[in-house]
Amino acid sequence: MMCSKIIPLGFLLFCLFHHAAIGASPLYHFCFSNENYTAYSPYQANLNQLLNLLYTKVPPTGFGFGSTGQYPNQVNGLALCRGDVSSNNCKTCVIDASKELGERCPNRKGAIIWYDNCMLKYSNKKFIGQIDNANKFYMWNVQEVDNPTRFNEKVKQLLSGLSTTASSNPKLYSTGVVELDKSRKLYGLVQCTRDLSKSDCKKCLDVAISELPNCCDAKQGGRVVGGSCNFRYELYPIVSS
């Protein structure tokens, strides 16, 4: 079972039982630019060059950004892989993301796509180093917990702690786990794109975490996924050991 809904702020909301089973399918995408480029134009040539740059630049460290060409045909872009993803899987994800955006947002000058393993964004506008609050969506598990007040407090406590840890980590990434009771654990993950400063990373994550009541109240799992940062929590392990 899956449902979606557009809300006034432009965030996309998803609900699902267990998204991990979907595998390498995209989580979502936005063709956010209203401007188009023409086939075989300088902009397309610069976009292809940028994507080739990201294929090679991102996998070794899990993050990379760059710009190709000159105004008015300059293309800016970045790609981020989840902190535990191997270089090979990172490269595969970035390549898949590039191909998928070409099919889903043909000729658009700005677009973004997310997978479980990576995200990719490009635009004719300069955005590197700026918090992206425009491109964002929610996901949650439709199953609810039995003790929502205590559970919600535990989720916020875990994610807020991870926000602080991530903002002081060079990879701007952090994971953690807390015990809910003798038989259940709560797992969390937060991450920012590494073009942000440490303070902007924490600011981005704290804003995302403040949206918990809107996206994931009493839900067994949830995410706020954005163009600059994201968080996820589940009642099962969500990263590679």
- Convert the pLDDT of each residue in 47-88 to its tens digit: 999 999 999 999 999 999 999 999 999 999 999 999 999 999
Query: Could you give the CA distance from residue 169 to residue 132 in angstroms, rounded to a whole number?
Result: 20
Tell me whether domains 31-123 and 136-234 share a fold. Answer: yes
User: pTM (2 decimals)?
Assistant: 0.91
Look up the CATH superfamily of 136-234.
Answer: Gnk2 domain, C-X8-C-X2-C motif (3.30.430.20)
Distance, first Cα to last Cα, the chain:
29
Half-sphere exposure of 231 (CA within 13 A, CB side): 31
Name the pairing type of β-strands 173-179 and 28-30.
unpaired
pLDDT band of residue 7 (cuts 50, 70, 90) is: very low
- Residues β-bridged to residue 224: 138, 231
179: tokens are 């015990």
Query: Could you give the CA distance from residue 81 to residue 59 in angstroms, rounded to a whole number?
Result: 8
Pick the range with the lowest mean pLDDT from 6-10, 130-134, 203-207, 218-222: 6-10
Domain parsing of the chain, residue ranges: 31-123, 136-234
Q: What are the helix and strand counts (H, E) for the chain?
A: 5, 12
pLDDT band of residue 241 (cuts 50, 70, 90) is: low
User: Any alpha helices (H) in 123-239, and if so which ranges?
Assistant: 148-167, 198-210, 212-216
Look up the CATH superfamily of 31-123.
Answer: Gnk2 domain, C-X8-C-X2-C motif (3.30.430.20)
